[in-house]
Structure 1
Amino acid sequence: MATVTVSPIHFEDYSGPQFERLVFAYHVRAGWSDLIWHGQSGGDQGRDISGIELFDGQPPRKTVIQCANRDTLTLAKAKGDMTKAVKAAAGTPDAFKFVSRGAVSDTGRIRIGQAAASLGIAHVTIWSGVEFEENLRLRAEFLLHRFVQGIEFPDAETEIRKFVDDFTDLSDADALQLMAAVFDRPAFRTPFQQESSLPDFKQAVEDTIGALNTGVWRTREGNEIRRIPSIHHLQDQRIQAVLANVVRQVDELRRIFVTRLKDGEIRHCGCGQAKCPTYMLTDRVADELDEARRRILTTFRSVHSSFNVSLL
């Protein structure tokens, strides 16, 4: 089943609140935690939205998201918003993110980054309208379809969350697109060598099995990244059967790792440091694990042709 595409998106045809609803809904879909839509009630203090961006294996970032529903994101506008946010009661955020409907020049990005650094903001992300659309297509294309087709997004935060996590009208193609994200991580992309860094590899594999079976995708630390469709949301019985096979193959990858760890073909490097992530593998086991991962990725690709995750 082919994914329906919508292009181009004219964000200028939509009001500021509509644009903010879409930005908020996207970040709910992308798995951000503690999201608050300040712009709903006015007096946002330079913060349309705030939340915590979670990373797999990296510290989370307390982030302010500012929606710039205008043709140009100026330095004065960006600096003013960041200054107000820094002075707000919540204090200086770890990061600031601008989502603009218009284009942003390289020079503008550099100057906004410099302004952020002068205010003590360590990280700045700037999305133009094109970049926002690309990320919507990658992680939440069904939201983009609803938005363009005129389906009204709810006003309340709680209702938007329900709206975002409603997979009942999702096609199998769109569901597979969302499920594919669980494989786009080092545990499935990095080839094994005789000496490999394997921090929490087994946990990452187990989390993948859980995400496919339940729709709850977590970081290695146990924090929920986002909700995705599970294999039970798939309508086509053939596709559902293929995904059940993928789950079995991922479990086989886990069992190979555990077994080879027990029989000594995978062993700690011997440096004596308890938290050292380096392990030694025989050539045979490295090949065995790589082949197991290729089978997983090939099987998933058999029902989702645009799937582009492969061993590096």
Structure 2
Amino acid sequence: MLNTKVGPVHFEDFGGTEFERLVFAYHLRAGWTDLAWYGKTGSDQGRDIIGNEILEDGSQRRTVIQCANRDVLTLDKAKHDMTGAVGEEGDHLKAFKFVCRGDVSAARRRAIQEAGKKLKLEPVTIWSGSEFEENLRLRGEFLLRRFIEGVAFPDDGEGLRRFVSSFVELSDEEMLREIGQIFERPAFWTPFYAECSLSGFQQAIDDTIGALNTGVWRTREGDVIRRLPSWRDVGDPAIRKQLEGVVFALDALRRLFKKRMQEGAIRHCDCEDASCPTFFLDMGVGDELDAIRHDILDAAHRLIPGFAVRIV
């Protein structure tokens, strides 16, 4: 798999403003809208950051994000922050989120959430440092890497917004590392004879082509994971040409798969259950598909720093 392990992260080594900047950048990256960074002004009134979280049904929820860059988040401190935020925002505020650098016990979480309910704040979300790091690795690996390596982020909210949304400040190497993550899925490392879903396999190839072309990375179920650079965002023309070649190779894999399905060389069993993982292959078909995937992954390996996915 792609070698992106850089942790664990010691958030305590960084100052409060640096931590807030990373939290703000992450939530921009995660798709929150109308984000304002109050902590930067020095007068946050219990609300370092405030913005709208986009829910699964498309609705928005006004939420305060408080950055607890301290070893322990106490109940008194949490109550003080929530009460202050409610006093400033009133009924417009619906939820609250703490992003902490340290651990938070289950008992402390429950107590803080109960205090939030009394203020009509629900849900109250609490991320420990390890939970924040996990979400950064999923949706903002390049943000985490820059944070750890001491590469400065833009110093203001608007600069961060441009940085997160456009990729223009990323180097080609950083963009390639981001692009490489789309190959971190079973469709690229599971031998074809062990594939458990023919429709899922085709969807994964379709989604990978879409991600390379548009920068929109989706799961097999069609849910957007996050935005990535597309091959067109890379600055070096020679690298862009090679990435375009990977897209063509993926399309060849897709077309061969469809052709073998039409020919009956790949076919479901006779149970008529569309979700059944049992299917049959003619001699050599699995090797044929695996060989194309090997070529695609070898091309990615030559292009992408740290890329190490291999079919097992």
TM over 0.5: yes
1:212 paired to 2:206: no
Letter matched to residue 146 of structure 2: L
Give, in whole Å, the separation in 2 of the partners of 1:143 and 1:126.
19
Shift of 1:267: 2.0
Aligned residue pairs total 289
Shift of 1:143: 7.8
Give, in whole Å, the separation in 2 of the partners of 1:213 and 1:81.
47
Shift of 1:33: 3.6
Quote the sequence identity (%): 32
Q: TM-score, normalised by structure 2?
A: 0.69
Shift of 1:208: 1.2
Give, in whole Å, the separation in 2 of the partners of 1:63 and 1:224.
21
Give, in whole Å, the separation in 1 of the partners of 2:66 and 2:138.
15
Q: TM-score, normalised by structure 1?
A: 0.69
1:288 paired to 2:302: no
Give, in whole Å, the separation in 2 of the partners of 1:195 and 1:248.
23
Give, in whole Å, the separation in 2 of the partners of 1:53 and 1:189.
32
Give, in whole Å, the separation in 1 of the partners of 2:168 and 2:194.
46
Aligned to 1:58: none
Give, in whole Å, the separation in 2 of the partners of 1:287 and 1:134.
37
Provide the alpha-carbon RMSD of the alignment: 4.7
Aligned to 2:169: 169
Give, in whole Å, the separation in 1 of the partners of 2:217 and 2:139.
19
SS at match of 1:217: strand
Which range moved further: 192-201 or 169-178?
A: 192-201
Shift of 1:37: 3.5
Query: How do 1:89-104 residues align onto structure 2 when only pairs under 5 Å count?
Result: 98-101=98-101, 103-104=102-103
Aligned to 1:68: 67
SS at match of 1:281: strand
Aligned to 1:155: 157
Contact 2:22-2:147 at 8 Å conserved across structures: no
Please, which runs of 5 or more residues in structure 2 have no aligned partner? 1-5, 86-90
Which range moved further: 194-203 or 262-271?
A: 194-203
Aligned to 1:201: 201
Aligned to 1:263: 263
Please, which runs of 5 or more residues in structure 1 have no aligned partner? 55-61
Shift of 1:90: 7.6
Query: How do 1:131-150 residues align onto structure 2 when only pairs under 5 Å count?
Result: 131=133, 135=137, 139-141=141-143, 144=146, 148-150=150-152
Contact 1:22-1:147 at 8 Å conserved across structures: no
SS at match of 1:301: helix
Deviations 1:80-125, CA, capped at 9 Å, x for gaps: 599989xx878789xx7x5323x32xxx445456668988979975
Contact 1:215-1:227 at 8 Å conserved across structures: yes
Letter matched to residue 258 of structure 2: V
Give, in whole Å, the separation in 2 of the partners of 1:215 and 1:143.
20
Shift of 1:207: 1.9
Contact 2:188-2:311 at 8 Å conserved across structures: yes
Letter matched to residue 177 of structure 1: R
Q: 1:109 to 1:9 in 2, by over 3 A?
A: closer
Letter matched to residue 278 of structure 1: P
Higher CA-based Rg = 2
1:19 paired to 2:40: no
